[in-house]
Amino acid sequence: MNWGCASLVRACTALLLALSGLVAAAAPKQTLVVAAFPAVDDIVRAAIPRWKLLHPDTEVRVLSRSFEDHHTVLMTALFTATNLPDVMVVEAGYLGRFAIDSRLSDLSQEPYLIKEQQARFAPFAFRQASTRSGAVLAAPADIGPGTMLYRADLLQTAGVSEEELTTSWETYFAAGVKIRAATGASLMPHARNVAEVLIRTDIADGESQYFDATGRALVESPRFVHAFELALRARQLDLDARQTSWSPTWFDAVRNGRIATVISGAWMLGHLATWVAPDSSGKWRAAQLPQDSWSAWGGTFYAIPKAAKNKKLAWEFIQFMTLNRESQTSAFKTQNAFPALLQAYSDPFFEQPIAYLGGQKARLLWRDAVAHIRPVGVHEFDFDVRIIVDSELNQVLDQGKDIHLALHDARLKIDRLAHNPLSRR
């Protein structure tokens, strides 16, 4: 061998490797922009180190805003196709609104084909992001199986059992009368909470919460009449504190033991334990909703705008957050984000007692609820119809408006909305 030539080859090779390294170092890293609200922003940030092990050449930038501002800004960005993130986090109640102008990528289509993964998700969660046309607007990350959180100390003082709270709506109301007499506490924050449960329950196959399969409004159906009647009954019995959820007076009443039960998604536990009523640890318990009223409350989804710049990378990130067991269980353990991924349900974390709930193993309760909740699809007018229905219910509760007239008026407003979407509120 010509050792001089060999030395020259080695030198050239080393030079080429060095130059290629400099070029690689100078090449800009790809940036993935994720828009989220608290505490999902923390979940995303916590997952970034594991994500970067798989994608070391990618930076993840998290845009975080308050819950309301987040959704308002995203609506504007989608409408104008400017300043769009690659991945956007959407709360379940807003999915219909984002579906109106078809500005989200349909994840059922190429290259996403999320329906191939459908069996891995809680069935009702996957359906929550599906439209009448079969489009899938987003991938479910966490879900909100409905639950009743109640103050065990107030029940003990009043001599009321958990069974009385849950057997039926009548026993629930009767328990509330006892609790009010013995403690002065209200049974629930607002009578509207009762209607919210019943409106979400016993929805027929093919129907969404407010519409049938043909798009006809269902607000004059027996389901809504019954919901309004029971809410009015709760008000007539003076069982509610007339406090709107998340208002300052609601916080004060829940924190100071003037509310005996709070009906919400299982995620409410995290709010109670960390910032709503942290000093009440050990006083709360969880139960199923009255009369087996299985229903879903909220949830978090990941979507990709059609005009996003990095859709391929965005889809990889969404799969990492929703179809990866470690990502799902980590969010559950740190932020009480109940997983949508069924594979996570065998984690030992479900068996652990919850100190805030007096050592109760409530996660098993909520896991059982998931199996009973019926899948309900999204409709593009869900957000606005909910406001219309709430407004009419308030008139029934506060002004004595006839229930059938209120629901008739709600249906007329919904019909106008459906025929002229520009008239939306």
Q: What is the pLDDT of residues 256-302, one digit of tens each?
A: 999 999 999 999 999 999 999 999 999 999 999 999 999 999 899 99
pLDDT digits (tens, 9 = 90+) for 126-183: 998 888 888 999 999 999 999 999 999 999 999 999 999 999 999 999 999 999 999 9
Give the per-residue pLDDT at 205. 84
Q: What average pLDDT does the segment 375-400 reach?
A: 93
Read off the DSSP letter of residue 97: H
Residues of the chain with CATH 3.40.190.10: 30-143+298-372, 146-295+378-423
Position 4 scores a pLDDT of: 43
Name the packing angle between helices 382-399 and 192-199 (round to 10°): 140
Superfamily designation of domain 30-143+298-372: Periplasmic binding protein-like II (3.40.190.10)
Burial class (CB in 10 A: 0-12, 13-18, 19+), 8: exposed
Q: For 306-325, what is the mean pLDDT?
A: 96
Q: Do the beta carbons of residue 266 and residue 338 sit within 8 Å?
A: yes
Q: Percentage of the chain surpassing pLDDT 70?
A: 92
Q: What is the pLDDT of residue 252?
A: 97
More confident residue, 341 or 424: 341
Phi-psi region of 188 (alpha: psi -120 to 50; beta: other; left: phi over 0): beta
pLDDT digits (tens, 9 = 90+) for 19-53: 444 444 444 589 999 999 999 999 999 999 999 99
Q: How far apart are CA 18 and CA 58, in angstroms?
A: 22
What is the third-level CATH fold of 146-295+378-423? D-Maltodextrin-Binding Protein; domain 2 (3.40.190)
Q: Which tens digit of pLDDT belongs to each residue from 177-227?
A: 999 999 999 999 999 999 999 999 989 888 889 999 888 999 999 999 999
CB of 210 within 8 A of CB of 382? yes
Preceding peptide of 111 cis, ω within 30°: yes
Helix or strand holding residue 89 (H, E): strand 87-91
Find which of 19-28, 94-103, 345-354 is predicted with most confidence, using mean pLDDT: 345-354
pLDDT of residue 5: 41
3-state SS of 2-31 is: CHHHHHHHHHHHHHHHHHHHHHHHHCCCEE
* Predicted local distance difference test score (pLDDT) of residue 8: 41
Out of 97-101, 305-309, 355-359, pick the least confident. Answer: 97-101
Give the contacts of 409 (CB within 8 A, at least 6 positions apart).
392
Please provide the average confidence, as pLDDT, over all residues in the chain: 91
What pLDDT, on a 0 to 100 scale, did the predictor assign at position 1?
A: 43
Fill in the amino acid letter for 156. Q
- Structure tokens that stand for 223 in this block: 């389901």
Answer whether residue 353 shows pLDDT above 90.
yes
The per-residue pLDDT for 254 is 97
Residue 425 has pLDDT above 70, yes or no: no
